[in-house]
Each structure stands twice: as C-alpha cells, then as structure tokens.
C-alpha cells in the first residue's frame, strides 16, 4: 500500500514537472519570437491555437463565431507580443488577452440579440398592424418564451408582453432590479440558442 502511494506521488511529481517544462517552452518560444525568430513564432502560434480552440469550444456555441474569435485572439496576441515579459509566466498573459476578446464578443452578441428580441416582442404590445412575416417571427418568440423556466418566462412576459418596466417587475416579484435583469438575460440567451438550433 505504501509502495502504491509512493508510485502515485512520483507520478504526480513527474506530471507536474512535465507541465512546468511545457509552460517554460511557451515562454522560451515567445522570447525567441520577440527576438525575430519566425520559426519559433509559428511553432508558438500552432501550439496556442490548439489550447485556445479548446478554451473557446466550452464558451462559444457557434463554430463560425468560435473560429472568428480565435483569429481575433491570435491577432491581438500578435499585436501585443512586445508587452510579454520573459520573467512572467506565459499562460496568464495569453488568457488575459483571450478573455478580453471573449468579453467583447459576448457584449456584441448580447447587444445584437437583445435588440432583435426586443423589436420582435415589442411588436406584440404595439398598436401597429403586424405584417405576416413579422407575425411569424413574433409567434416563434412567443412559443420560445413559453418553453422557458417559470421565473424566466414570467419576467420576460411582464417586460416584453405586458410592457412593465424593470422596477415594476422587481416590486411585483419582490426581487432586486439587478436580479430581474440577470434572469431576463438568461432567458434571452436560451431563446437565442434555440433560434440558432432551428436555423
């Protein structure tokens, strides 16, 4: 039993040593790239592309969007390569850039989608006559709202169908305005994913 524990500890130490060596390799390649070594730079980009692709797969639903964001991150890394300090670990520097680009992507997508949902749902409470194709879109949105979890469904219905303000919804449900916005936002994201699935 003690022998097995010793082996497990040794295996852990070996794997940690390999991880440290691998991380040092990235730092070394970046330093060489900063010095003008194009082969080292291409090698580095190839390695980090695989890592970043896995990072984005867990965070972006659309394959096309994922590829676009990956390219944006690689371009940002290229433009910022002079800011990397050889005495600092490479991975935190790389992920800081990746997270910044990812945040910009989320912000852009959520703004675009929020406008789309609001336009479609606002037509349901307007006095204007809805055109046939607009009616079809609005009907689809209504069906998707009905499929949401109860709290999301209630809040979005109050906001977009009944036309209540966030403050009115928060008072009615005895929730903070921030919480109302967060729950509504989750509902919008769910609807967006379902619309993407259908398309």
H runs (alpha helix) in the chain: 2-34, 38-57, 63-80, 90-125, 132-146, 150-156, 166-173, 177-198
Tell me how far apart the alpha carbons of residues 160 and 169 are, in angstroms, rounded to a whole number.
11
Q: Is 50 exceeded by the pLDDT of residue 13?
A: no
Task: Tell if the pTM clears 0.85, that is, is over it.
Answer: no
24-41 burial, b for 16+ CB within 10 Å, e for fewer?
A: eebbebbbbbeeeeeebb
Banded model confidence at residue 41, pLDDT cuts 50, 70, 90: very high
Rounded mean pLDDT, 37-41? 94
Contact 104, 60 (CB under 8 A): no
Q: Is 80 exceeded by the pLDDT of residue 176?
A: yes
Q: Is 70 exceeded by the pLDDT of residue 10?
A: no
3-class SS at 93?
helix
Which residue from 45, 186, 25, 51 is spatially nearest to 114, judged by alpha carbons?
A: 186
Q: Report the range out of 10-14, 96-100, 119-123, 128-132 with the highest average pLDDT.
A: 96-100
Domains along the chain with CATH numbers: 2-106 (1.10.1740.10), 129-198 (1.10.10.10)
């Amino acid at each position: 039993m003690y022998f097995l524990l010793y082996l497990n500890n040794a295996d852990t130490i070996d794997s940690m040593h390999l991880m440290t060596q691998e991380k040092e390799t990235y730092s070394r390649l970046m330093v060489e790239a900063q010095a003008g070594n194009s082969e080292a730079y291409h090698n580095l980009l190839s390695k980090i592309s695989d890592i970043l692709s896995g990072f984005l797969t867990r965070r972006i639903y659309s394959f096309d969007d994922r590829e676009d964001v990956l390219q944006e991150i690689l371009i940002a890394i290229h433009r910022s390569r002079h800011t990397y300090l050889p005495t600092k670990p490479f991975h935190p520097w790389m992920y800081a850039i990746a997270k910044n680009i990812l945040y910009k992507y989320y912000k852009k997508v959520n703004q675009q989608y929020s406008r789309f949902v609001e336009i479609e749902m606002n037509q349901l409470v307007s006095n204007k006559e809805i055109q046939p194709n607009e009616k079809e879109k609005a009907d689809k949105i209504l069906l998707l709202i009905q499929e949401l979890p109860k709290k999301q469904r209630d809040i979005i219905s109050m906001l977009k169908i009944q036309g209540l303000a966030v403050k009115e919804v928060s008072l009615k449900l005895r929730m903070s305005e921030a919480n109302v916005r967060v729950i509504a936002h989750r509902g919008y994201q769910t609807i967006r994913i379902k619309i993407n699935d259908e398309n």
